[in-house]
Amino acid sequence: MYQVTEKRDVPPNIKMFKVRAPAVSRKAAPGQFVIVRTDERGERIPITIAGAEPEEDTVTVYFAEVGASTRDLGRLGEGDGILNFSGPLGNAIPVKGYGEVLCVAGGVFQGVNLYLAKALRGEGNRVTCVQVAKGMDHLFLVDEAREACDESYAVVDDDEGGGLKGLVARLLDEKKMSRVFTFGPVPMQRAVAELASARGVPSSVNLYPVMVDGTGMCGACRVTVGGATRFACIDGPEFDGASVDFDELTSRLRYYTPQEKIAMVLNERGVI
Amino acid sequence: MPKQAPEERKSNFDEVALGYSEEQALAEASRCLGCKNPRCVKGCPVGVDIPGFIGLVKERRYVEAARRIKETNSLPAVCGRVCPQESQCQMSCVLGVKGQPVAIGRLERYAADYERSSGAQGPARTTRGGGRVAVVGSGPSGLTVAAELQKKGHQADVYESLHAAGGVLMYGIPEFRLPKDIVQAEIEYVKGLGVNLHLDSTVGRLLTVGELLRAGYDAVFIGSGAGLPHFLRVPGENLKGVYSANEFLIRTNLMKAYRFPEYRTPITVGRSVAVIGGGNVAMDSARCALRLGGEKVYIVYRRGKGELPARLEEAENAEEEGVEFMYQTNPVRFIGDDRGYVTRMECVRMELGEPDASGRRSPSPIKGSEFLLDVDTVIVAIGQSPNPIIQQTTDGLEATRWGTIVVDEETMATSISGVYAGGDVVSGAATVISAMGAGKAAAASIHNYIEKRGQSAT
Ligand SMILES: Cc1cc2nc3c(=O)[nH]c(=O)nc-3n(C[C@H](O)[C@H](O)[C@H](O)COP(=O)(O)OP(=O)(O)OC[C@H]3O[C@@H](n4cnc5c(N)ncnc54)[C@H](O)[C@@H]3O)c2cc1C
Ligand SMILES: Cc1cc2nc3c(=O)[nH]c(=O)nc-3n(C[C@H](O)[C@H](O)[C@H](O)COP(=O)(O)OP(=O)(O)OC[C@H]3O[C@@H](n4cnc5c(N)ncnc54)[C@H](O)[C@@H]3O)c2cc1C
Ligand code: FES
């Protein structure tokens, strides 16, 4: 069992957990994820690491309650135990001196983005951070980003493009960015990657396809990058934004939508 | 041996083979001649004392019979169910020359099941004082290394990346061939020897092999298996509805998707299912697909019936349950609908030429023989390579270009001093008992290595 030592609600449907996992906390790095199983009947849920506190033996994660499994997890409170918490999995994002970098995050991924931004700044990069949410009251970690980054922006964008695209395009045009990092919903990451590519700036996207084991044994997480099939759990989750087949990724993410809907309704009614 | 009837079993996940009654076991055991120079033992990769345990069964001393097996094989209830005895111990049985060999596997299963259900306590923990060994992976090879080392007085700590121990026994082989509570009971026995089991621990990520050695382990054994699925590399393979056999089986067996939504992991099985491949993994996938509601389940295999790599018994079981076999057929592409789900598969007929290096006739496509098959679900079961994480994260560990770890065949020592490997990660996908044989050999040389180190240190 891995104990939830701290829990926080973030609107509209996000939970922050600090989880006691000493070995994971000593090894975790930005870009890596954990696989969590709430209880015996639980799915293996991948969640990105948003911070590690080895001095407290804890790992921080943020997750959105979007379906039955994440709701099961969200019902746990401080002091409760999570049955399985496996990680760190996936490759860490190489944190080194790039120069001027842009870190763009949407939705639940603000913590993850900040974890990377801090590490990049620690290596002497000049970090500009952009936070996107669907509504004013859905923005979070805004003050923290202001403090941690050289420059930071928060935008509301409900059509997956408009306001965000304008801002990112302006930042890319104003400054000579060495690299763009992005986390978030697929359409948002895609838009950011396309803006970067159009200006010849390398971009690093972070892909979250459906996963099962997270160790390269099933191929559920296969994505097409540069025309070749790769497994996001062992070859990623970070990939070159210019080479990813986003249409395929979007389609594969909808694989279990009919089943997920059933599970969600039954879960809401307390049947399962 | 009594079995569930095909009509009934094809819609449940309960065990197919029901096992001997006591009378049947005694009758079968009485056929054993108790040879002075038993050939069957030589056919067993771990050298179980076969006449010895069968002798005890004859005397109705079943618990002792199980204990006798466990002296050399820690997983008898598993091996009694899944070993290919027909090509190992039973192949060498002298009775087999003229008639039927003794059904050694079924007797092994009987003794092990008897001991387990009798609740007889396992042997006490062995004393400590020897070395400390880290074992990577809790499949048959890792469990065997751990149990053997523990019996020799060392402390074995097993690191397993999944949330359950057992490797393929848990995630691959279906419940109806190998019930999971039986696997767990045998793992409890191994734990009872004093083995520590660390789940959720992916070596190479959480801890590297180098870190394990630096943390004070005298030696490391790598038994990480061959779990990386191969794909066909044909167009449309990433459509929804196309699974690797491993994904299909992991969802079904490890995650119990057949009980969705009570168990949260979903699986999709349409009316028409095509399983690509002809091995045991393909048979298991096809039989799971039937039980998950597939109306038409095809095995699509590029060679002929005579070349099927699956055990005959498994192919027969599948056929009895209603799986249809399409021989000399190979998929060339998958076609999907506008939502990205697979709906059809284009296949080509194959002709068989001269035998190739493997001794099997090599298939080649017949031009113009393409045809379409309606499919809702495709399961690709054409093989696996070693799990790659350890090879990628261990400096100085020699591996082949197929990803298998290179070892000295006798000692199982790798290119790094103190690091040993065995099972599927060395041989490529093989069998439970060969992985256990490798584990036994590795445990013996790890024991020698630790003893020698101890001597040179004093
Ligand atoms: C490597 C990795 C890292 C991730 N990190 C985070 C994270 O830090 N925080 C977080 O909130 N989520 C993260 N996710 C997504 C998270 O795992 C899924 O949201 C979760 O598994 C959904 O489970 P569910 O049963 O609650 O919802 P489901 O019922 O399975 O799904 C409900 C809805 O969520 C969508 N969905 C399902 N799986 C995914 C997925 N993998 N990615 C995106 N959408 C999905 C479905 O399409 C559906 O619309 C990550 C996924 C991966 C693969
Ligand atoms: C569907 C199927 C059916 C089969 N049927 C039969 C049969 O009937 N009879 C038979 O004899 N054989 C059968 N086999 C083959 C047999 O199961 C394997 O040969 C055997 O399990 C190999 O044992 P192993 O210990 O080498 O590896 P595995 O059983 O593969 O176990 C390896 C373990 O290591 C873990 N691991 C991997 N990487 C890491 C890491 N980095 N850190 C920590 N842990 C890690 C894995 O999660 C896994 O649990 C079957 C195989 C499959 C897939
Ligand atoms: S999640 Fe199974 S291979 Fe990536």
pLDDT in tens, B320-335: 999 999 999 999 999 9
Task: Let me know if residue A266 belongs to a domain.
Answer: no
Task: Let me know if residue A270 belongs to a domain.
Answer: no
Residues 6+ apart with CB under 8 A from A176: A100
A145 and A198 share one domain: yes
The CB of A237 under 6 Å from ligand 1? The reply is yes
| Domain end position, chosen among B330, B359, B382 | B382
Q: Mind telling me how many Å the CA of B65 is from chain A's nearest CA?
A: 35
Structure tokens at A115: 């974890």
Residues 6+ apart with CB under 8 A from A184: A104, A105, A106, A107, A109, A132
| Domain end position, chosen among A143, A176, A205 | A205
**Residues A189, A195, A200, CA angle at the centre, nearest 5°?**
120
HEC per residue, B32-54? CCCCCCCHHHHCCCCCCCHHHHH
d(CA A41, CA A38): 8
d(CA A151, CA A102): 9
CATH, residue A198 = 3.40.50.80
What residues make up the domain containing B197?
132-227+385-457
pLDDT of residue B358: 77
H helices of B43-201, where? 50-58, 62-70, 76-82, 89-92, 95-98, 104-118, 140-151, 168-171, 180-192
| Domain end position, chosen among B327, B356, B382 | B382
Beta strand spans in B356-446 (E): 361-365, 371-374, 377-380, 384-385, 419-421
- What angle in degrees, to the nearest 10, is found between the helix axes of B104-118 and B50-58? 60
A69 and A97 share one domain: no
CA B318 to chain centre: 18
Interfacial B residues in 192-211 facing A (CB < 8 Å): 199-202, 205-207
Residues of A in contact with B171 (CB under 8 A): 217
Question: Residue A218: which of B244, B261, B389 has the nearest Cβ?
Answer: B244
Q: Mind telling me how many Å the CA of B187 is from chain A's nearest CA?
A: 18
Q: Nearest residue of A to residue B162 by CA position?
A: A213
Q: Mind telling me how many Å the CA of B456 is from chain A's nearest CA?
A: 33
Write the DSSP string, A103-126.
EEEEGGGHHHHHHHHHHHHHTT-E
d(CA B111, CA B119): 13
What residues make up the domain containing A235?
207-259
Residues 6+ apart with CB under 8 A from B95: B31, B33, B101, B102
Is A84 within 8 Å of chain B by CB?
Answer: yes
Ligand 1 center from residue B301 Cα (angstroms)? 36
A65 and A155 share one domain: no
Q: Which atom of ligand 2 is nearest to the CA of B281?
A: 1
Nearest to A121 by CA among A152, A150, A80: A150
B248 and B179 share one domain: no
Q: Is the peptide bond before B261 cis (omega within 30 degrees of 0)?
A: yes
Task: Let me know if residue A237 belongs to a domain.
Answer: yes
The CB of B224 under 6 Å from ligand 2? The reply is yes
The CA–CA distances, whole Å, from B249 to A40, B162, B175 equal 18, 14, 10
A164 and A106 share one domain: yes
Task: Identify the DSSP state of B254.
Answer: I
Our CA dihedral for A103, A108, A114, A117, rounded to 10 degrees, sits at: -20
CATH, residue B439 = 3.50.50.60
Task: Let me know if residue A70 belongs to a domain.
Answer: yes
Q: Nearest residue of A to residue B198 by CA position?
A: A86
Inspect the interface and report whether the beta carbons of B268 and A68 lie closer than 8 Å: no
Inspect the interface and report whether the beta carbons of A89 and B202 lie closer than 8 Å: yes
Inspect the interface and report whether the beta carbons of B229 and A219 lie closer than 8 Å: yes
Q: How high is the ipTM of this complex?
A: 0.93
Inspect the interface and report whether the beta carbons of B247 and A212 lie closer than 8 Å: yes
Residues 6+ apart with CB under 8 A from A177: A100, A101, A102, A128, A171, A196, A201
Mutate to test the interface with A, among B199, B200, B252, B337 (most CBs of A within 10 A): B200
First-to-last alpha carbon distance for chain A, in angstroms, is: 22
Inspect the interface and report whether the beta carbons of A220 and B199 lie closer than 8 Å: no
Ligand 2 center from residue A93 Cα (angstroms)? 30
Q: Mind telling me how many Å the CA of B234 is from chain A's nearest CA?
A: 11
| Domain end position, chosen among A205, A221, A236 | A205
Q: Nearest residue of A to residue B163 by CA position?
A: A84
Radius of gyration of chain B from its Cα atoms, rounded to whole angstroms: 23
B112 and B170 share one domain: no
Residue that is written with structure tokens 């490890």 in the block: B254
Q: Mind telling me how many Å the CA of A238 is from chain B's nearest CA?
A: 16
CATH, residue B55 = 1.10.1060.10
Strands A203-206 and A179-183: parallel
pLDDT per residue of chain A (272 residues) written in tens, 0 to 9: 999 999 999 988 999 999 999 999 999 999 999 999 999 999 999 999 999 999 999 999 999 999 989 999 999 999 999 999 999 999 999 999 999 999 999 999 999 999 999 999 999 999 999 999 988 889 999 999 999 999 999 998 866 556 888 899 999 999 999 999 999 999 999 999 999 999 999 999 999 999 999 999 999 999 999 999 999 999 999 999 999 999 999 999 999 888 888 988 888 888 88
Is A15 within 8 Å of chain B by CB?
Answer: no
Question: Residue B261: which of A88, A248, A263 has the nearest Cβ?
Answer: A263
Question: Residue B264: which of A68, A219, A255 has the nearest Cβ?
Answer: A68
Nearest to A135 by CA among A106, A99, A115, A169: A106
Q: Is B7 left (phi over 0), alpha (psi -120 to 50) or beta?
A: alpha
Q: How many domains does chain B have?
A: 3
d(CA A214, CA A231): 9
A186 and A148 share one domain: yes
Cβ atoms within 10 A of the Cβ of B306, count? 9
Our CA dihedral for B84, B86, B91, B93, rounded to 10 degrees, sits at: 100
Question: Residue A218: which of B205, B206, B247 has the nearest Cβ?
Answer: B247
Q: Is the peptide bond before A237 cis (omega within 30 degrees of 0)?
A: yes
B92 and B48 share one domain: yes
Question: Residue B246: which of A41, A85, A219 has the nearest Cβ?
Answer: A219
Q: How many domains does chain A have?
A: 3
Interfacial A residues in 142-171 facing B (CB < 8 Å): none
Q: Which of A15, A47, A85, A264 to mutate to test the pocket of ligand 1 (most atoms within 8 A of CB)?
A: A47
Ligand nearest to the CA of A209: 1
What is the identity of the amino acid at A3?
Q
B374 and B433 share one domain: no
| Nearest alpha carbon, ligand 2 atom 8 | B82
Q: Which residues line ligand 3 (CB under 6 A)?
A: A 211-214, 216-221, 231, 233
Contact (CB, 8 A) for B450 and B154: yes
Q: Which atom of ligand 2 is nearest to the CA of B432?
A: 11
CA B154 to chain centre: 26
Inspect the interface and report whether the beta carbons of A263 and B244 lie closer than 8 Å: no
- Quick check: helix, strand or coil at residue B246? helix
Q: Mind telling me how many Å the CA of B186 is from chain A's nearest CA?
A: 20
d(CA B335, CA B345): 6
Inspect the interface and report whether the beta carbons of B240 and A252 lie closer than 8 Å: yes
B223 and B153 share one domain: yes
pLDDT of residue B313: 87
| Nearest alpha carbon, ligand 3 atom 3 | A216
Which residue positions in chain B have pLDDT lower than 70?
121-129, 457-458
**Mean per-residue pLDDT over chain B, rounded:** 93
CA B256 to chain centre: 18
CATH, residue A25 = 2.40.30.10
The CA–CA distances, whole Å, from A245 to A9, A192, A239, B247 equal 34, 14, 11, 22
- Quick check: helix, strand or coil at residue B25? helix
Structure tokens at B313: 């018994």
Nearest to A161 by CA among A142, A128, A201, A189: A189
| Nearest alpha carbon, ligand 3 atom 2 | A218
Ligand 3 center from residue B244 Cα (angstroms)? 10
Strands A58-64 and B329-336: unpaired
d(CA B398, CA B38): 39
The CB of A17 under 6 Å from ligand 1? The reply is no
A150 and A72 share one domain: no
CB pairs below 8 Å between A and B: how many?
120
What is the identity of the amino acid at B14?
D
Is A263 within 8 Å of chain B by CB?
Answer: yes
Residues of A in contact with B201 (CB under 8 A): 23, 86
B221 and B335 share one domain: no
d(CA A108, CA B438): 47
- Quick check: helix, strand or coil at residue B262? coil
d(CA B403, CA B381): 19
Task: Let me know if residue B1 belongs to a domain.
Answer: no
d(CA A122, CA A112): 16
Is A81 within 8 Å of chain B by CB?
Answer: no
| Domain end position, chosen among A89, A117, A140 | A89
Q: Is the peptide bond before A54 cis (omega within 30 degrees of 0)?
A: no
B264 and B351 share one domain: yes
Nearest to A82 by CA among A47, A115, A107: A47
Ligand 2 center from residue B228 Cα (angstroms)? 11
Question: Residue A43: which of B201, B233, B265 has the nearest Cβ?
Answer: B265
d(CA B376, CA B241): 6
Task: Let me know if residue A45 belongs to a domain.
Answer: yes
Structure tokens at B154: 């060392």
B331 and B421 share one domain: no
What is the identity of the amino acid at A43?
E
Mutate to test the interface with B, among A45, A218, A256 (most CBs of B within 10 A): A218
